Structure 1
Amino acid sequence: MDTEHHFFEYLDRIAANTWPAESNVMVDHWLIRVSNGITKRANSVFAIGSYPRDDNWLSHVEQFYHSHGLPAIFHVSSASPDQLDSLLQDQGYELDTPCYMMTADCQQVASHAEERIKKQYPSALDLELEITQSVTNEWLDAFLFLEQYPEERRGFYQGLSERMPASKAFFTLKDQGHTVALGTAIVEGEWAGFVNVIVHEEHRGKGYGYAILHAMTIWSITHGATQQYLQVIANNVPAVTLYEKLGYQMKYGYHYRVKYDLAALVSS
């Protein structure tokens, strides 16, 4: 395996730890994740590394998801085996949600964010910052509200937050007591991963994105991280632009392949 591919696989595996599913089964060394259909990341095959040794792996995957009343979804990245994407396409799997894996140097992000805030958004320096080591009801309330998610998703995000690796923190920025931005940071070794980063839609353009990422980066550095990553939907131009201004670079891409009609396979 070449060095670049090895790095992609290494980073993909660390990133997968930040979004653990409610339950998993294995097809050889591939992880089949299921979480009642909430988020593709937690309900897809983590298809990283070589193909399974079982030649019937695709049939097993499709039967498993059909038994849970879910579509079959594969996470396909630069760390996936050669030709997997075209194989799935030939089997009727639709391309879905192209994303970027972006990485940056922690010190560089901290410096860029601080400079931007001081020069362009000094009012962001007056925000209240709250950091907790475990998820709170208040944080979840705010997250569901900002994302406009239904209350039915609370259980998933509560469990997700509890299943995340131990070195984690939940960040809240407030303006006069009102939540304006949220985020979660997880540190594993030298890498910090950022998830669930969101700024209140009525407060965008005020530098709050820089402020929340600065706070998360400083916390990550104090917990041993030197590098950081995040995953972002490719067509989310405002977010990608913000990350690039902080020094992030697109390291590689990934997407999902989805097949909704599994009945024919299982009934045959």
Structure 2
Amino acid sequence: MEEEILQIEELSINAFPAILTELYDGWILRYSNGYTYRGNSINPLYSSTIDLENKIDYCEDKYFKKGLPCIYKMTENAAEGLDTCLEKRGYTIEKSADIMVCEIDKSTVSQLQDVNISMDMTDEWLEGFLNLNEIIEESIKSTVKTMLSNIQNPVICVNINEGDTMIACGLGVLENRKIGLYDIIVMEQYRCKGLGGKICKEIIDQGIKNGADMAYLQVTSLNEQAVRLYNSLGFKKLYTYWYRVKKVI
């Protein structure tokens, strides 16, 4: 399990590049102008040599000076005692999510007629993605575009339109024969119509065509509707991650 968690965490970091990344004694510090927890968090993936309290002091200083909360993305792989130490220092758990994985059935590939696919991240897809996520502030738009354009691995951009309006989309990122499903989103008035499932199936199918033999995704632990969808597609929970957060002093 430890190796599987490490592999998925590394894939996730590569699939969602931060604007700035710093490696500090086995911890990966990510900064993205405050956009999302995953883009602005400390990932304690590897073994350390520096005293734990001193490391936390260093990280707090780095993030607080940038006006950002200090956020740790935690898994069961984290160093023994780190979660307890953070809790004692006033860090609260604000979000958690499950990582789900699926062994791909390569006999089920079939392209859906109403789903658009691109192996390039076009301006049109990016604008639709921003609209679906209701991102309107120009500075945040710029951050998101930079992060997504910095993805170094092959991408699969999928969307469904109603006329000229994008009503559903998703992003696949392929690395090491694994296809990650990210940012599956459907416009509110079109939900519960099977569009999310179509997006997921098309990303997986395109992953298969490009050599993937396993799929993974992340879903908010309490999102029962999404979990049911992913279970119906063959995904099973592998592990949970959670964020420990301390606000700027």
In structure 2, C-alpha distance between the alignment counterparts of 1:249 and 1:18, rounded to whole Å = 21
Give per-residue Cα distances to partners, 1:78-106, cap 9 Å, x unaligned: 22122221111011101111110110122
- Equivalence map 1:17-36=2 (5 Å): 17-36=14-33
Matched with 2:49 is 53
Give per-residue Cα distances to partners, 1:228-247, cap 9 Å, x unaligned: 10111112222111101111
SS of structure 2 residue aligned to 1:43: coil
The correspondence for 1:211, drawn from 187, 198, 222, is 198
**Does residue 147 of structure 1 match 2:133?**
yes
TM-score, normalisation: structure 2: 0.92
In structure 1, C-alpha distance between the alignment counterparts of 2:158 and 2:32, rounded to whole Å = 24
In structure 2, C-alpha distance between the alignment counterparts of 1:63 and 1:235, rounded to whole Å = 33
- Equivalence map 1:70-109=2 (5 Å): 70-107=68-105
8 Å CA contact 1:191, 1:229 repeated in 2: yes
8 Å CA contact 2:68, 2:248 repeated in 1: no
SS of structure 2 residue aligned to 1:42: coil
Residue identity matched to 1:38:
Y
- Equivalence map 1:193-232=2 (5 Å): 193-232=180-219
Cα RMSD, aligned residues only: 1.9
* Identity in percent: 29
In structure 1, C-alpha distance between the alignment counterparts of 2:192 and 2:70, rounded to whole Å = 38
SS of structure 2 residue aligned to 1:32: strand
8 Å CA contact 2:15, 2:153 repeated in 1: no
SS of structure 1 residue aligned to 2:105: helix
What is the aligned length? 246
In structure 2, C-alpha distance between the alignment counterparts of 1:78 and 1:90, rounded to whole Å = 18
TM-score, normalisation: structure 1: 0.86
For structure 1, the 5+ residue unaligned runs are: 115-123, 263-268
Matched with 1:6 is 3
In structure 1, C-alpha distance between the alignment counterparts of 2:19 and 2:244, rounded to whole Å = 21
Q: Give 1:14 deviation, angstroms.
A: 1.3
Give per-residue Cα distances to partners, 1:106-164, cap 9 Å, x unaligned: 227x84x97xxxxxxxxx9552x322233222212211221222233211221121111
Matched with 2:124 is 138
SS of structure 1 residue aligned to 2:21: strand
The correspondence for 1:252, drawn from 221, 239, 244, is 239
Q: Give 1:178 deviation, angstroms.
A: 3.3
8 Å CA contact 1:172, 1:179 repeated in 2: yes
Going by fraction, where is helix more abundant, 1 or 2?
A: 1
In structure 2, C-alpha distance between the alignment counterparts of 1:151 and 1:70, rounded to whole Å = 18
Give per-residue Cα distances to partners, 1:153-205, cap 9 Å, x unaligned: 21122112111133112111224443221011111112111111111211112
Report which of the two structures shows the higher radius of gyration computed on alpha carbons: 1
SS of structure 2 residue aligned to 1:161: helix
Runs of 4+ in 1 over 6 A off after TM superposition: none
In structure 1, C-alpha distance between the alignment counterparts of 2:76 and 2:105, rounded to whole Å = 27
